[in-house]
Structure 1
C-alpha cells in the first residue's frame, strides 16, 4: 500500500513537472510570436512581455520577456524604458548558463548605450558579447548574434569615424543576416541596414548606390509588412530626389511616408519627414506648406529633446547606482579581508602567547629541578 502511495506521488510529481514544462514552453512560444510584431504593434508586444514576465518561473524565460519589452520600447523610441528593462534582464544573467542569451542581452545593452551616444560603454558591452561568441559551439547560432554586433558597431563607427568604416560593418552584418531564411526579424534587420547604407552613400555622394540601397530597404520592409521601416526607406529615397532637384517627386515619396507613419507614431521618423517636406516646399517656394511643416518639425523636435533628456538622466542614475553597488561590493570584500586578517593576527598572537607561557612553565619546572639537585 505504501509502495502504491509513493508511486502515486512520483506520478503526480511528474505530471506537475510536465504541466510546468508545458506552461514554460507556451510562455517561450508567446515571446517568440510577439517578437514579430515589435515594429508594427509595440504596445501589444510590451503587454505580452509583461504577461510572460509575470507568469515565468525560469530565468531564461524572464530574460526573453524583458528583452521583448526592451526591444518594443526601442521601436517606440522610448530609450529610457528600453534601457530600464534591458538592465533588468542583465540582472538575471548569473541565473542562466545559456551563452547565446547572455550575448543577446549584452548586444542589446550595447545598442542602448549607442542610442544614448555613450559609445565607450557601448563598445565595452559589444566586446564582451563578441568574446563570449567564441564559446558558441553551434555555428547556426552565430549569424544573428554576430549580425546584431556588427550592426551596432556600424552605427557607432559612422558617428565616431567615417561612413567608409560603417559601410564595412553594415555589409558584414548583412552577410550574417542573409544566412537566416524565413525569419521576419532578420528581414526587418536587412531593411534597416540597407536604409542606413543608403544614408551613408548619400553622405559620401554616391547617389546611385544610395537609390539602390533605399529601394532594397523598401522591398524588405514590404516583405514583412513593416510600416515604420517602409516609411523610413521612403523618406530616404525622397532625399535622393531632393539632391537631384526633383522636388515634386521627393514630396510624393514623403507624403506616402507621412501617411504610413501615422500608423507608427515614431517621433524620429516624423521629425525627418516634416523636415524634408518643409525643405522641399521651400525649394518650390510654397511658403504656406513650408510654414506648416516647419512648425510640425519644431514641435516634434521639442518632444524628442524632452524625451532624450529624461532618458539621459535615467541612464546617469543607472550608472551611478551601478558604480555604488560596485563600490559597496569592493568595500564589503575589503571588510571581509580585514576581518580575516584580524582573526589571523589574533590567532597568531594567541598561539605565540600560548607557546611562550608553555615554554616559561617548562623553564620554571627545569629551574626548580636544578635547584633541588644542587641542594
Structure 2
C-alpha cells in the first residue's frame, strides 16, 4: 500500500469517527464507546484523539459530563505528544466544569489526571496533593468495582514519584499495587497502563542493578503493548531491553532492538523517545567500531536534544507560572487573613477603650456626686454654727 493510500485511509477514518461523534452527540452509549476506543489510540494517533475530543466538546454544549470527558481526551492526547503546556490548558478547562457535575467518578478521574499532569511537569508536591485528594474520594466511593483503574493510576504515579524522590524499592511496591488494581479492571482499558507500569518497574530494576528482572519487565511490557498495538509503548519497552543488552555487552542485540524501536517511534514522533534511541544507537555502534553509523546517530541525538530543550523551556515556564499563581494566591490569602485579624484587634481595642471610658466617666460622676454631698453637708453645718 502506498503512503498516499495510507494517508487517505487515515483521513477517511478521522472523518467517519467525527461524523459518528456528531450524529450520536446525544447518545451516551455511543459517545462513551467512541471515548473508550479513542483513549486506547492516543499512543498511536494522538492527533485523531484531539480532533475527536474537540468534536465531543462542540457537540455537547448542554452536557457538562461529556464536555469534561472531551477536554480530558484532548489533554491525554497532548500528554502522549509530551506537549504538557497544551495538555494542562485543556485539563484546566475540564477542571473548571467539575463544580457543575455530580458525577463523583468523573471528579476522581479529573483530579487523578491533575496529579499525573503535575508529575509530568515535575511539580511533585502538587502532584501528591492531588493524588491524596483523589485517593480520599476513591476511599469514599461506594461502588468499589468501578474504581480499580483510578486507584491503579493513583498507585502507579505515586510509584513514579517515589522513584524520583525516595527509593526504587518503595517505588516498585507502589507500581505493583497499581498493576494489581489494573488487573481487576477492563482488559482493553488497562493493558496499555500495565505496559507503562512494567516499563517503569524495569527501569527501577536497572537502577538496582537487577538486569535479569529488568529484562523480564521490559519483555512483558512489549507483549502487553503489542496486544493493544500501542507502538510508542512497544518502542519504549524495546529501548529498555536494549539498555540491558548494552550493559551486558550484547551490542548486536541492543542495536537490533533499538532499530525496531526507531521504526515504531517514527510513526509517533516522540522526541524524548527518539533522543534516547539515537543515544543508544550511537553508544552501541561506537562499541562495535561502526564509526559511520555512530556519527549519523550522534548528530541526530544532538539535533533532537536541542528540540527537547526548546520545548522544555516552555514546560518549565508553565511550571514556574503555576508556582507563581499558587504563590500569589497564598500571599493574597495571608494578606486577607492579616487584614481580618487587624480589623478584629482594632474592634477589640475600640471596645476596651469604650469600656474604660464609660467606667471612668461613671466614676467621675460618682466623685462629683460625693463632692456635692460633702459641700452641702459643710454648708449645712456652717449655718447651724
Same topology, TM > 0.5: yes
Are 2:311 and 1:298 equivalent residues in the alignment?
A: no
Aligned residue among 60, 67, 71 for 1:66: 71
> Which blocks of at least 5 consecutive residues in structure 2 are unaligned?
1-22, 351-385
Shift of 1:81: 0.7
1: CA distance between counterparts of 2:59 and 2:329? 29
Q: Which residue of 2 aligns with 1:53?
A: 57
Q: Give 1:28 deviation, angstroms.
A: 3.8
Give the superposition deviation at 1:225: 0.6
* 1:270-289 alignment runs, 5 A limit: 270-289=274-293
Counterpart of 1:314? Answer: 318
Which residue of structure 1 aligns with residue 261 of structure 2?
257
Give the corresponding residue for 1:361.
none
CA distance in 1, matches of 2:233, 2:282: 22
Cα distance in 2 between the residues matched to 1:189 and 1:169: 14
What SS does structure 2 have at the residue aligned with 1:77?
A: coil
Question: TM-score under structure 2 normalisation?
Answer: 0.78
Q: Which residue of 2 aligns with 1:103?
A: 108
- 1:247 alignment counterpart: 251
The residue aligned with 1:117 is 122
Which residue of the partner structure matches residue 35 of structure 1? Answer: 39
- The correspondence for 2:233, drawn from 229, 236, 242, is 229
- Quick check: 1:131 aligned with 2:136? yes
Structure 2 residue aligned with 1:359: none
1:76 is aligned to 2:94: no
Paired with 2:338 and 2:38, the residues of 1 have a C-alpha distance of 46
2:104 & 2:211 partners in 1: Cα distance? Answer: 42
CA distance in 2 between partners of 1:25 and 1:321 (Å): 39
Q: Distance in 1 between matches of 2:221 and 2:29?
A: 34
Deviation of 1:328 after TM superposition, in Å, equals 6.5
After superposition, give the CA deviation of every residue in 1:205-238 in whole Å (9 maximum; x if it has no partner): 1111111111100110110011001111111111
The structure 2 residue matched to 1:151, chosen from 144, 156, 164, is: 156
Count how many residue pairs are aligned between Structure 1 and Structure 2: 324
Point out the structure with max Rg over C-alpha: 2
**Could you tell me which of 253, 267, 271 is aligned with 2:271?**
267
Q: Does structure 1 residue 179 correspond to structure 2 residue 191?
A: no
Q: Distance in 2 between matches of 1:21 and 1:244?
A: 55
Q: Give CA-to-partner distance per residue, 1:8-28, whole Å, 9 cap, x none.
A: xxxxxxxxxxx9983455444
Q: Please report how far the alpha carbon of residue 310 of structure 1 lies from its aligned counterpart in structure 2 after TM superposition.
A: 0.3
Q: TM-score, normalised by structure 1?
A: 0.80
CA distance change for structure 1 residues 329 and 20 in 2, over 3 Å: closer, same or farther? farther
Cα shift readout 1:45-104 (whole Å, capped 9, x = no counterpart): 000001111221222111101110111001011111111111111111111112211111
Shift of 1:317: 2.7
Contact 1:80 1:312 in 2 (8 A): no
* Aligned-pair CA distance for 1:251: 0.3
Q: What pairs up with 1:351-366 in 2 under 5 angstroms? A: none
